[in-house]
Structure 1
Amino acid sequence: MRELVEAVLAGTRDPEVTGVQVREVAALAATVPDVLGADGYLFGTPANFGYMSGALKHFFDTVYYPCLGTVAGRPFGLWVHGSDDTAGAVRSVLKLTGGMGLEQVAAPLELSGAPDAAAREAGYELGGTLAASLMA
């Protein structure tokens, strides 16, 4: 997961992206003020037993209702890494982000197995796409 996080964050720092500040906040550390203070979101999770990680689920449990109606229309991107099945994790995150009214800027990045160069490039593109959507 760390390799993918680094690739996604590198994409947000692409030289063509200007005027965008990025903060990395772990799911268990993220708070309602973090969500309300952000203009867009990148969510990443391992697929655990066909579902998002417990940490990301806890994040959504914590921020969903306090942020409902306030963050609608803000862009987000998602990547999910699993051994073999990522569909359930993707579906669960998309259900929650849809309920919050967040706008998906790219198709979810679903990865299985060890990250290779193509996976890192796809992560870079995801980060760059979200960051570019936020440029003033």
Structure 2
Amino acid sequence: MKQLLIVHASQTGHTLQLVEAFCRPLHVLSTELQLCRMPAQEATLDDLLSADGIVLATPENFGYMAGKMKDFFDRTFYPAQGLTAGLPYLMLVSAGTDGQGAIQSMRRIATGYGWKEVLPPVLACGEVTAEHLAAAEQQGEYLAAGMLIGRW
């Protein structure tokens, strides 16, 4: 069974809406894909090392990722060196402005891990709309399908 780790840096609000939409179509795959969804402050190195794919979900705070997401990276980056190369990932970002600071900073760090961004980020600027939620659901379906057929 494949395991998808979903690390989110928000307990409520717009980012969590994106996470919930992303997960919605995946529950029917429970016999093939295990979802491991957790707040960034609770995610551990072991969680990361057991993942076959990862979703990084964060609000943009002051033009950057949330501090809890950065903390997850700080705690796992060096111990994971060389152990997670090629891990497929995608990002879910909610932002009050353009979201590019959060996306660029996470991309830089993911490159350091050697991860592979397999789908474009879902970016919700301002209020989360039905279109944002539909995009998150679609990316969930695409990521799961790619993992299950061995594309990534």
Where on the TM-score scale, by shorter chain, does this alignment land: which range?
over 0.9
RMSD of the alignment, in Å?
1.5
Task: Choose between structure 1 and 2 for higher RCO, CA contacts under 8 A separated by at least 6 residues.
Answer: 1
Q: Which AA in structure 2 matches 1:70?
A: L
- Distance of aligned partners of 1:44 and 1:53 in 2 relative to their CA distance in 1, 3 Å threshold: same
After TM superposition, list the pairs within 5 Å mapping 1:122-133 onto structure 2: 122-133=135-146
| Alignment-derived partner of residue 3 in structure 1 | 17
Instruction: Give me the TM-score of the superposition, normalised by structure 2.
Output: 0.83
Is the 1:45–1:52 Cα contact (8 Å) retained in structure 2? yes
Question: Displacement of 1:16 after TM fit?
Answer: 7.3
Whichever structure has more strand as a proportion of its residues is 2
Secondary structure of 2:74's aligned partner: helix
Q: Which AA in structure 2 matches 1:92?
A: S
Distance 1:98 1:42 in 2: 14
| Alignment-derived partner of residue 4 in structure 2 | none
| Alignment-derived partner of residue 38 in structure 1 | 51
| Alignment-derived partner of residue 106 in structure 1 | 119
Deviations 1:92-136 (A, max 9, x none): 000011111111110112111111110000111122222112115
Task: Extract structure 1 runs of 4+ deviating beyond 3 A.
Answer: 15-18
- Which runs of 5 or more residues in structure 1 are unaligned? none
Distance 1:17 1:129 in 2: 16
- Which runs of 5 or more residues in structure 2 are unaligned? 1-14
The count of residues paired between Structure 1 and Structure 2 equals: 135
